[in-house]
Amino acid sequence: MEKYYPLLQNTPLFKGILPENFESMFKCLSAKTKSYEKGEPIMLAGEDVKNVGIVLEGKIQIQKDDINGERIILDELGAGGIFGEVFACAGIEKSPVTVYSIFPSEILFVDYRKIITLCPSNCSFHSMLIRNMLMLIAQKNIMLNSKLDIISKKTTREKLFAYFKAQAKKTGTKMFELPFSRDELADYLCVNRSAMSRELCKLRDENFIEFEKRTIKILKWPFRS
Amino acid sequence: MEKYYPLLQNTPLFKGILPENFESMFKCLSAKTKSYEKGEPIMLAGEDVKNVGIVLEGKIQIQKDDINGERIILDELGAGGIFGEVFACAGIEKSPVTVYSIFPSEILFVDYRKIITLCPSNCSFHSMLIRNMLMLIAQKNIMLNSKLDIISKKTTREKLFAYFKAQAKKTGTKMFELPFSRDELADYLCVNRSAMSRELCKLRDENFIEFEKRTIKILKWPFRS
DNA sequence: ATAAATCTGTTGCATTTGCAACAAGGAGAG
DNA sequence: CTCTCCTTGTTGCAAATGCAACAGATTTAT
């Protein structure tokens, strides 16, 4: 467990809390760790969520299963990522999402009631935890808004550019790696894969972009900036 | 100001705080009120956001202005509604959204730094305020997810049904009033208005729904539940 | 009361998209 | 190496959609 302390120290949730307090804190929070294999579900939609999860190792994917059986990728988290905290704070008991381990992963679970409730012993880290949680959720909120920005576009072309623009802004360059396969990207943008593929090639033919595998290079923007 | 105390008492942000503490609390929080006419902007995109706003009277609309000049309605708030709190908690200085008063409105502004920072005098309401804020933002988060659910649908028909389903669940009946004009609804669903109008009529002709003006009545569901 | 503005439905048309099926290339397993 | 699976691009076609323009109805302003 101690080997993850440097990681946890830089985690948004535990930022500002001294590592020497971790052991007593985890005890107070009833923290537990669990291992998952690649492809194994960590949390299923409809299950009770009593814990906040923190990825110590590996990679997970948060998905939403549609009525029609379609899969929507909401997020992908590596080491340091946190999930389940929104339902915790919103008072939602049943998970509306499914979380899968897409690499062999090690997850730290924390009882969320113990995070938001000040303990009798009045531990010093509690107000910091809550403050951190606030920022965490607010920023996730911003991310959701960004995704809405992209999905709100009417055409596939506009969605692609909106997504590319966000990625370019994130990485600071006009050439970047997609974190998705084509299939997953289409899911993310909520469009048909083959239609998206077609549009990508059109954009290439019109000299807007170049791409090879997951590498995208922006040559020019269609609208202003 | 005192006339709004009953309203504020039932506001998510101030819930659990006794009205007799309101005056001293507002003083501590540097709270101010301001009036707006119908159509007047309350907060423009790009402006500094230093305050959290609470609607005391009237109605406001939160919009996002697209690069292409398209308008996306993110939310509509009546008395008791709160806005700007997400940017506050996420540490974002410049507002990415525009807020308009769509009725003559009275807005209460609170310096958000004073909400999340425990004051020297250690007021009793501060930890409650932060806890309330946490739930507020987490629930807004959930709402964004719900909207994503709707927008993520590929066809206009699916979007309409996803939206209707959410409204039906909200009101608990199969007949409800739309909070939008057709134009606004199309904006909300991110589809072309005339195409949506066409689809609505198709649904009527296929006996899925009945509608008159803003009243929608669901006759049957296309898929399960 | 009259005029102007807004809301809603309608229609034709070009374009986009979803869908399904197939093919080429590459990665990984045995 | 060979076989299988996965990823990606390709294509034809029917259906959906965006767009623009128009008309009737309703609301609002003067």
> What average pLDDT does this structure show over A204-211?
88
List of residues 6+ apart from A211 with CB closer than 8 A: A200, A204, A217
Say yes or no: Cβ of A192 under 7 A from any atom of strand C.
yes
On chain C, which bases lie within 7 A of the protein's CB atoms? 7-12, 16-21
pLDDT for residue B102: 81
Which regions of chain B does DSSP assign to beta strands (E)? 32-36, 41-43, 51-57, 60-65, 71-77, 82-83, 98-101, 105-111, 175-177, 209-212, 215-218
Domains of chain B: 2-149 (2.60.120.10), 153-218 (1.10.10.10)
CA of residue B176 to C1' of nucleotide C6, angstroms: 23
Closest nucleotide to the alpha carbon of B183, via C1': C7
* Residue matched to tokens 């993850």: A4
* Percent of chain B whose pLDDT exceeds 70: 92
pLDDT tens, residue by residue, A50-60: 889 999 998 88
Residues of A in contact with B66 (CB under 8 A): 152
pLDDT tens, residue by residue, B70-96: 456 777 888 899 999 888 888 888 888
Opening angle at CA B142, ends B16 and A73, nearest 5: 155
Interface test with B, best of A86, A128, A194 (most B CBs within 10 A): A86
CB spacing of B152 vs A147 below 8 angstroms? no
pLDDT for residue A69: 47
pLDDT tens, residue by residue, A88-147: 888 888 888 889 888 888 999 998 888 877 666 666 777 788 888 888 899 989 888 889
CA nearest neighbour of A162 among A189, A180, A187: A189
CA nearest neighbour of B71 among B38, B104, B48, B100: B100
